[in-house]
Structure 1
């Protein structure tokens, strides 16, 4: 039986002082790495990696499937049956010298009451555009009658980078640029942001529109069960007819299984080595140790670990039948990550 583990955030970048995993005791991960076949692949986004785990009945997926539709499907709130969807995620826009940068909502600590107040105001002021909603304070959506036509860039691409490099292109961009500007002005002047500024918090002074495309069609999954907390991953599961379960810790599967564990992603994004190291130690006890035990007992015959990253992607393959190779030695994570090839000059 095969187990797929997608683990975004594991590739802490090297060359930034002492690696935060250097002195960690991670016995199960080190053992798994020692018995692994290791492959470094070109950069791969989490979105692309997730899409590759599912297929349409025709054995291919439309290249323009809406990420917003899938992510909204993965939220806890029931999803309306009609309309087209955009992610309309809250953000903080700020200048660094003469460059406009965007910081996503992961560092804004938006409260539920703030999000509700802003949703009510947006739906009152921009009712002719569509319907705004916030299933979570830091994840907003715009439901539209007509499909938006520009090509928008994912929020993950622009976060922390110059906004000018990621402006939408294609059809009808003028209309959407104007709407973005109007939303920024409205948010900037809203009492919620005036109160945040007065209390020393960063303001919610912009949104990032992205994720449009065709509504996702029915897909098929090779998995009997899926563990995931990320709404996009949960949406993929539901589109394939599976109800995902939380990914807080490993649950022994009854058939081929997929788990998407994102506990390292936020600490990596914020470059918080202490939080990243603490999350990694929990992963070793809650995931790697029971996975190793199930490989040894042959409950799992093959474990595949995929780590998407914006420089290189990492793949580890561990076969239960290879655990007898006593000459294989444990491999520390910082040593493993140091084996990555140098970034391509074209990598941003």
Structure 2
């Protein structure tokens, strides 16, 4: 008997797609937990349990990409390659990291031109993975509250409010970002990428700064089995377990509690057929003790086998809220 936790996207991401009557009945009969904070970062922190106010994703992902993440006196900052595109309303983040389809050749071409920009400021830039670039900074270096790229994707940068962020450190990082943009804009490699129909790398996106946390402080809420294709979720969970790739469909209860990160799915029909309905069947059969649903809006529900007797609870019209 096990507990399965599904991390789901916000219901609004499914647009006009309709939930099945089976799922609506199950949701109506579930226990609703106090709403959590909205957003992907908050969703993951309900399981990662990092110390309050800390989000050192650079150091955590560095543990997977290199061997020096825990070097004494060192903090890390992600400086991921990204693509900004101007439009009539402003400038938008269109892609970053994995979304740019970068290769080792891209790193070889672009990194040497960028290193002096940060070296003169006392920071080392490297890229142990083509999609994940890092700045090594002295521990204790003041860092502004950078936005996660996943939260900024498609957003007009003016709406993020960074231009209003006060303080010399914020100005310093804006200046470094501007210098990097100038180098990348002038680099002939980007012209070649665009000629080949690929997006340019025209900025670096800073985020996830901090020193590596102790393993125990980032570990204690994860179940024994974690399945995800999201590098951020994988980096967080790796402090406690060995995450596995997300399967194409519900694999069955297995042995021990498990968490399945389904937050990237946008086809509601496929989510219902491949994941939610089979998990409900396992719950009805007694193979699962609990099915927990955690969506990006902070909606938290727990379903148990005996909940099917709550026949007086009627489904909400349209879908979950």
TM class by shorter chain equals: 0.7 to 0.9
The answer as to whether partners of 2:37 and 2:43 remain within 8 angstroms in 1 is no
State which of 192, 200, 205 in structure 1 corresponds to 2:202: 205
Distance in 1 of aligned mates of 2:98 and 2:86: 17
Q: Compared with structure 1, are the counterparts of its residues 104 and 169 closer, same or farther at alpha carbon in structure 2 (3 Å cutoff)?
A: farther
Does structure 1 residue 66 correspond to structure 2 residue 56?
Answer: yes
2:301 aligned residue: 316
State which of 158, 162, 165 in structure 2 corresponds to 1:166: 162
Q: Compared with structure 1, are the counterparts of its residues 42 and 34 closer, same or farther at alpha carbon in structure 2 (3 Å cutoff)?
A: closer
The answer as to whether partners of 1:122 and 1:132 remain within 8 angstroms in 2 is no
Distance in 2 of aligned mates of 1:107 and 1:247: 17
The answer as to whether partners of 1:35 and 1:318 remain within 8 angstroms in 2 is yes
Distance in 1 of aligned mates of 2:100 and 2:222: 37
Does structure 1 residue 185 correspond to structure 2 residue 182?
Answer: yes
Q: Compared with structure 1, are the counterparts of its residues 292 and 98 closer, same or farther at alpha carbon in structure 2 (3 Å cutoff)?
A: closer
Give the SS at the match of 2:245: coil
2:289 aligned residue: 301
Distance in 2 of aligned mates of 1:47 and 1:108: 19
Please, which runs of 5 or more residues in structure 1 have no aligned partner? 265-275, 341-348
State which of 119, 122, 129 in structure 1 corresponds to 2:114: 122
1:144 aligned residue: 137
Distance in 1 of aligned mates of 2:166 and 2:227: 36
Give the C-alpha shift of residue 322 in structure 1.
1.3
Distance in 1 of aligned mates of 2:178 and 2:260: 39
Give the C-alpha shift of residue 186 in structure 1.
0.9
Distance in 1 of aligned mates of 2:143 and 2:118: 20
- RMSD, aligned α-carbons: 3.2
Give the C-alpha shift of residue 262 in structure 1.
3.2
Question: Which has a greater percent of helix?
Answer: 2
Deviation string 1:24-69 (CA, Å, 9 cap, x unpaired) is: 8x5764554354345794751211221222347xxxx242241222
The answer as to whether partners of 2:117 and 2:180 remain within 8 angstroms in 1 is no
Give the C-alpha shift of residue 303 in structure 1.
1.3
Distance in 2 of aligned mates of 1:67 and 1:180: 19
Which residues in structure 2 correspond to 1:1-348 (within 5 Å)? 1-12=2-13, 19=16, 21-22=17-18, 26=20, 29-30=23-24, 32-37=26-31, 41=35, 44-55=38-49, 61-73=51-63, 75=64, 77-81=65-69, 82=71, 83-97=74-88, 99-105=90-96, 109-112=100-103, 113-123=105-115, 126-128=118-120, 129-133=123-127, 135-137=129-131, 139-151=132-144, 152-164=146-158, 165-167=161-163, 169-170=166-167, 172-218=169-215, 219-221=219-221, 223-240=223-240, 242-248=241-247, 249-251=249-251, 252-264=253-265, 276-277=266-267, 280-309=268-297, 313-325=298-310, 335-337=318-320, 340=321
The answer as to whether partners of 1:87 and 1:142 remain within 8 angstroms in 2 is yes
Distance in 2 of aligned mates of 1:260 and 1:197: 34
The answer as to whether partners of 1:72 and 1:231 remain within 8 angstroms in 2 is no
